[in-house]
Structure formats: C-alpha cells, structure tokens
Amino acid sequence: MDIILASESKYKKKLLLRILDEFNQIAPHINETPNPGESAPDLAIRLALQKGVTLLENNSDSIIISSDQVAEINGELILKPSSKQQATEQLKKQSGNKVIFYTCLCVTKFGPKKG
C-alpha cells in the first residue's frame, strides 16, 4: 500500500523520513484562502482535510498524510507572506507579542469498497 505525503515541503519530507523508509510526495495545490470569519484552528483543520481528500480522488488505494499550520496573533490570522516586505511587516508585528500556532495532521484512507 502506497503512502503519500500531501506536501511539497522538504522539511515535512525530512521529518517523515525519520519513521518511514518509503513514501511518495505530491503537492495537493488547493486554495488556502480563509473563509469569511473562519478561525485559525478551523482553517488549519479544513486545509489539512482538504489536502488529503484532494489527493485521495486520484490515489484511492493510498494512505494520505496531510497537515496544515495556521498562526494567529491577537485573534488575527497570520497568512503566508506574498513578498519580502509583507514578511518583514509580519515579523515586526509579531515581535514581543504572543503568537499561537494551530497545527492539524490528517491521515486519510478510503474504506473498503462495498458491493
């Protein structure tokens, strides 16, 4: 049975190699835009699930490992910066403040086919 890491991250790959000798790595390419009013923990859960389910559509015999992490500061989502300037602004905003990271890990597999 194939195992797929639903990520293109070299860091996640390195972590998974600590416990698994063989697996495939496929980037799910989903829309990571938060829904209006979506909380950081809800966003992390939704994205991790969506990554796994997206890859299951074409890999139904595989086990899919997917994850997501969302940061929050003072109730505001901290999303991936789109530029160096935005990254610098985010770091300045975080400096001296409490930043909370919400992480979700999903292991997804279709059940046996019926009938």
* CATH classification at residue 58: 3.90.950.10
Q: Which domain holds residue 46?
A: 3-68+101-108
The per-residue pLDDT string of the chain (115 residues; one tens digit each, 9 = 90 and over) reads 799 999 999 999 999 999 999 999 999 999 999 999 999 999 999 999 999 999 998 998 999 999 999 999 988 999 888 999 999 999 998 999 999 999 999 999 987 666 6
Range 40-44, long-range pairs (CB < 8 A, 24+ positions): 40/70, 40/71, 40/72, 40/77, 40/100, 40/102, 41/70, 41/102, 41/104, 43/68, 43/70, 43/77, 43/102, 44/68, 44/69, 44/70, 44/102, 44/103, 44/104
Confidence (pTM)? 0.86
Asked if residue 77 belongs to a domain, the reply is no
Catalytic residue among 2, 21, 42, 68: 68
Please tell me the total count of domains within the chain: 1
Is 68 among the residues known to form the active site? yes
